[in-house]
Amino acid sequence: MTVPRRRGRPGYDLESLLAVAVEVFNERGYDGTSMEDLSRRLGIAKSAIYHHVASKEELLRLSLDRALDALFAVAGRARALRVPAIERLEYVVRGSVEVLQNQLPHVTLLLRVRGNTDVERAALERRRRFDRYVAELVRQAEKDGEIRPDLSPAVTARLLFGLVNSLVEWYRPGQDGSAASLPDLVCRFAFDGLRIRRD
């Protein structure tokens, strides 16, 4: 017995529709993308898109939540660890690089959000909460004497996540080329620096 296949235009489930939508958002910018554009790229009528989501903004929310939920899951696991702050911080940095690798299109979209809509403002607020958690860990690690005190915790947190977020500019899946994994490389760079020490 064979399952009847849909004829004509390809069918999409929410997941594959979202993937294409986010690709278009990242190419043209969210503001610059219309439902018309999405319908054209998907090769389906707008009504077929509305079968899955109520609006363009819902697609945006779904995508940003993918990225943010994954980051908060990392933070949640870090919080539960019974280890010093510096190790929790390393865990969060390593985990964030993994999220970026696994959810690259969604994280890319998240990093471009400028706060023009309610959905974007809500996402920015969640991002700030995540950043505050990172800054808290940096502060605690500095108190513990594990992290150099000549950088303020706020600046350190920004440099750290500036480094992590910069990966969206060049990282592409499957082009690693390096023996060690990217999360490890980023942690070594950030925590131990480039210079070889001879003490």
Residues forming contacts to a copy of itself in the complex (CB under 8 A) are 29, 32, 86, 145-148, 150-152, 154-156, 158-163, 165-167, 169-170, 177-178, 180, 185-186, 188-197, 199
The 3-state DSSP class for residue 173 equals coil
Pick 52 or 84: Cβ nearer a copy of itself: 84
**Closest distance to a copy of itself from the beta carbon of 119 (Å):** 20
Distance in Å, CB of 8 to a copy of itself, minimum: 35
Distance (Å, whole) CA 20 – CA 42? 7
CB of 190 to a copy of itself, least distance (A): 6
**Count of CB atoms situated within 10 Å of the CB of 125:** 11
Closer Cβ to a copy of itself, 29 or 115, answer by number:
29
Helix axes 153-165, 118-143, angle to 10 degrees: 120
Nearest-approach distance from CB 154 to a copy of itself, in angstroms: 8
CA 133 to chain centre: 16
Contacts 24+ apart (CB under 8 A), 11-15: 12/42, 12/44, 12/48, 12/52, 13/52, 14/52, 14/53, 14/62
Judged by DSSP in three states, 141 sits in: helix
> By C-beta, is 97 or 119 nearer to a copy of itself?
97
Amino acid of residue 31: D
Please, which residue, 1 or 196, has the CB nearer to a copy of itself? 196
Taking the least distance from each CB to a copy of itself, the nearer of 48 and 154 is 154
171, 104 in Cβ contact below 8 A? Answer: yes
Task: Write down the least CB distance from residue 45 to a copy of itself, Å.
Answer: 28
